[in-house]
Amino acid sequence: MTSHLNDLLVADFSRILAGPLCTMMLGDAGARVIKIEEPRGDETRRWGPPFVGGESAYFLSVNRNKESVVLDLKSEAGLEAARRLIERADIVVENFKPADRARFGLEQGVIHRRNPRAILCSITGFDPDDPDAGLPGYDLLAQAAGGLMTITGAGDGSPVKVGVAISDILTAHYAHGAILSALHARDRTGVGDGIEVSLFGSTVASLVNVAQSWLVTREEPIRYGSAHPSIVPYQAFEASDRAFVLAVATDRHFSLLATRVLDRPDLASDLRYQTNAGRVENRRSLVPELASLFSTRPAGDWVAACRELGIPAALVERFDEIFARPITEMVEHPSIGPLAQVRSPVRSAAGRRAALPPPRLGEHTAAVLEELGLA
């Protein structure tokens, strides 16, 4: 099937997570992605266990729909192959430190002298005008410096990081959107752009309402665990058997919850709880009352009762429950065999390409070098 980006070539010099996830999304949309790896391979090939068929689950998660080419960029032969690839590429993605970027000729000015139509996307740890601009781009540093750990965790506990490398993931999505915007501009101008996206900047930008609240009040945010700073009740509760979440975002939903789910009309008529602002102000009295009521019955009962009335609620699902849903696709990997992967969440009337398995290290080196006119 014809997919959106099937006429584009991506030269992917990135590694770890943010860059590879961005280029995998481009590949999912049909672009041809050539992944350049050093002779030892992308570091995530060694990040495990778990491993399967000699490949790490980490690497497999963000590298489908790519070709792997091994180049030693410290050699003139490797640099020449990289230059030839860049001359043909529509998009170049890299996440080198500034010194290595200059060393390998991946700076915007150098690339655009060779290929004025190329869109260069550089992924960094911090913005170039930031005091920490020279620091490496690690997700943990971005979550800490970018405020995410400040607002994550229980109110009476220590700051914690999100359970996945969310700063990397957010950066990948910002970079993906910026690349597509630059492609649209190139259609008008014929000239490529230089884009820089940082993990730190992406993390702070993704604080959205929490960041804006600080800018308005200058008050340090509070950690609320699973709860919401501005909506109550909007959090996880423990039922008699397991946890579930409840998202009561309107006063009407709260009235229905109190009167028809909990059979507690007194909560609905209590002046402290009739508006969301009141419930936020009085969460310390309301939430323990709700928690006590919810502990008396199984979570499934509460979720069903809420959903019948249109009140948003869901179980906190285990992974065996998550993956019982139709959320995966199978690819045939050359050394693993059938491999299940989380499918792209994007659906399009244009369709999408059949997924290619994540490549083995250097699997396509010979073919691509020959295509570039090199031995």
* Separation of alpha carbons 68 and 51, rounded Å: 19
Residue 86: which H helix or E strand, with range?
A: helix 76-88
* Separation of alpha carbons 95 and 14, rounded Å: 5
**What 3-state DSSP class applies to 34?**
strand
pLDDT confidence of residue 2: 56
Print pLDDT tens along the chain (375 aa).
557 999 999 999 999 999 999 999 999 999 999 999 999 999 999 999 999 999 999 999 999 999 999 999 999 999 999 999 999 999 999 999 888 999 999 999 999 999 999 999 999 999 999 999 888 899 999 999 999 999 999 988 999 999 999 999 999 999 999 999 999 999 999 999 999 999 999 999 999 999 999 999 999 999 999 999 999 999 999 999 999 999 999 999 999 999 999 999 999 999 999 999 999 999 999 999 999 999 999 999 999 999 999 999 999 999 999 999 999 999 999 999 999 999 999 888 877 777 899 999 999 999 999 999 998
Rounded to two decimals, the pTM is: 0.94
State the pairing for strand pair 32-37/67-70. parallel
Report the residue count for the chain.
Answer: 375
Domains of the chain as residue ranges with CATH: 9-206+327-371 (3.40.50.10540), 234-238+243-315 (3.30.1540.10)
20: which 2 tokens?
């590879």
Phi, psi at 150, each rounded to 5°: -60, -35
60: which 2 tokens?
């497999």
**What 3-state DSSP class applies to 309?**
coil
pLDDT confidence of residue 350: 77
**Per annotation, catalytic residue among 168, 193, 251, 301:** 168
43 and 15 Cβ atoms separated by less than 8 Å: yes
Q: From residue 178, give the alpha-carbon distance in Å to each of 6, 32, 42, 183, 233.
A: 18, 18, 24, 9, 36
Among this protein's residues, is 7 annotated catalytic?
Answer: no
